[in-house]
Amino acid sequence: MRAPGLVLLAAATLAVAAEEQIEPEFVRPLVPVERGRNDSNPVWSPAGDMIAFERSRGDDREIVVVRSDGAPVQTIRHQNSAAPGKAQFFFPGVVEDTSYNSGISWSPDGKRFVFMSNGGEGNYDLYLRELDGAISRITTHKEKDGHAHWSPVQDRIAFISGRSGKGDVYLFDLAKKSTTRLTLGESSYLYPQWSPDGRRLAVIHGSNENHDVYVLEPGRAPPVPPKALSTWHYDDLRPVWSPDGKRIAFYTNYNPAGDPKTWAIAVVAADGSDPTEGSGLAARIVATDVVPDVERGPAWLPDSRRIAYVREEREAFYPVYIADVERRTNALLRTGTKMNHDVTCSPAGLIAFRAQVDQWDQVYVAKLKDAKP
C-alpha cells in the first residue's frame, strides 16, 4: 500500500537537506589512524566517558575499550582455556583457532559489559567483562546466542538464542544465574532493545524480507501479548527507543517507488497509538535515502528530537545527516569524512561513527556546537 502524500514529503525533505548544513565544533579520530586494521561498531558507555568498538585484524575480531579522549583501557581477544590436563581441539575447516568478539552492551554502571564471542573454539555464546577486567562465560548452549542488550536499570540481559529452533528472546538474570524464555514465535525475533525505564523491550519479528516492530513487556502480570508497532508488508528493522522513552525509531524499506533496497527512518509513538500501516505509518517517515546500520540502529541524540544517520549519496561518499523529527528537516553534518557507517551518540551528544581512510575503517568522533561539554 502506498501513501499518496509521501512523494511530497520526500521531496520537501531533500530540498531542505540541500540548503541546511551543520558545522560541528570538531571532528577527530577516536584513536590514531593506522593502516592494517578495521575498526567498527562503536558503543558508548552509559556515562559517555568510555567507548568500546570492534577491531578486525585478519580473521580475528577484538573488542577495544578506550576513554572518550582515546586513552586505552583494555583490548579483548578472548580465547577459552582448555580443560585441565587436556589440549584444545580444533577440527580443520570446521572449527578454527580464530577469536571473534562482537556485539557489546554496557551495564548501567558502565563498569561491565556483555558481548558475543566464539571463545576461539567456534561456538557463539555470551561473555561478561567483569569489574576487574576478567572475562566469564554466561551462556553455554550449543546453539548461537547473541544480540544481547543489558537492562538500563537492572542486572538483566535480553538476548536472542537459536536454542528454540527459530530465534527467540531470552532473559538472563545475573544475580540468579537463571535464563527465561520470553517469546514463543513461529518465526524469528531479533535485536531486543530495552526501553530507558527497563520495563519494555522493542524487537523485530518476522521472516525473510518482512519483519515488523513489536514491544514486549516481560514480567507483566497477567502476561500481555507483544504489541505491534508496524504491520505492513515492508521490512522494518532495528528499533531504537528515544532517550525519553516516548518514541521508537526504526529502518523501513517503504518508499513511493516500491524499491526494496531503498531505506528510510520512521518514528512512532512507543505506546502503540500511531498507525501500524498504510498512509498513517508512511507519514511517520522522518528521513529518506538512508543507509541502514543494522548493528547499531538509528542514533538518537540526547534531546529525543534529532537522529544522526548516514545518507545514501554515493557521489558524496555517504555523508552523515541529522534529522529533526519535529521540524521534519534533514541537514548535512560537515564531518569531512568518507564512507561513513555505524553512527551512535553518547548521552552528552558526542557522535561516534566509522569512516574510511585509505581503504581502512577508522572510528571518528564529532561534537555538535550545542552538545553538552
pLDDT tens digits along 19-56: 589 999 999 999 999 999 999 999 999 999 999 999 99
- Residue 129: pLDDT band (50, 70, 90) is very high
302-329, pLDDT tens digit by residue? 999 999 999 999 999 999 999 999 999 9
Q: String of b and e for 151-181 (b: at least 16 CB within 10 Å)?
A: bbeeebbbbbbbbbeebbbbbbebeeeebee
Most confident by average pLDDT, 124-138, 182-196, 232-246: 232-246
> What are the angstrom distances between the C-alpha of 235 and each of 10, 190, 260, 279, 312?
19, 13, 8, 16, 18
Return d(Cα 330, Cα 326) in angstroms, integer. Answer: 11
State residue 97's pLDDT score. Answer: 64
Q: Is the separation of the CB atoms in 363 and 29 below 8 Å?
A: yes
C-alpha cell at 267: 518514528
Sign of CA dihedral 271, 281, 13, 322: positive
Q: What is the pLDDT of residues 105-119, one digit of tens each?
A: 999 999 999 999 998
Average pLDDT over residues 194-208: 96
Q: Which letter, b or e, does each residue of 193-216 get, where b requires 16 or more Cβ atoms within 10 Å of its Cβ?
A: bbbbebebbbbbbbeeeebbbbbb
Give pTM, 2 decimals.
Answer: 0.91
Alpha-carbon span 133 to 111, nearest angstrom: 9
pLDDT of residue 283: 97
- Which are the contacts of 232, defined by CB distance < 8 A and separation ≥ 6? 1, 212, 254, 276, 277, 278, 281
pLDDT score of 297 more than 70: yes
Give residue 16's pLDDT. 47
The pLDDT, as a whole number, for residue 133 is 82
Grid cell in block for residue 218: 516481560
Give Cα separations from 36 to 352, 357, 362, 368 (angstroms). Answer: 21, 11, 11, 30
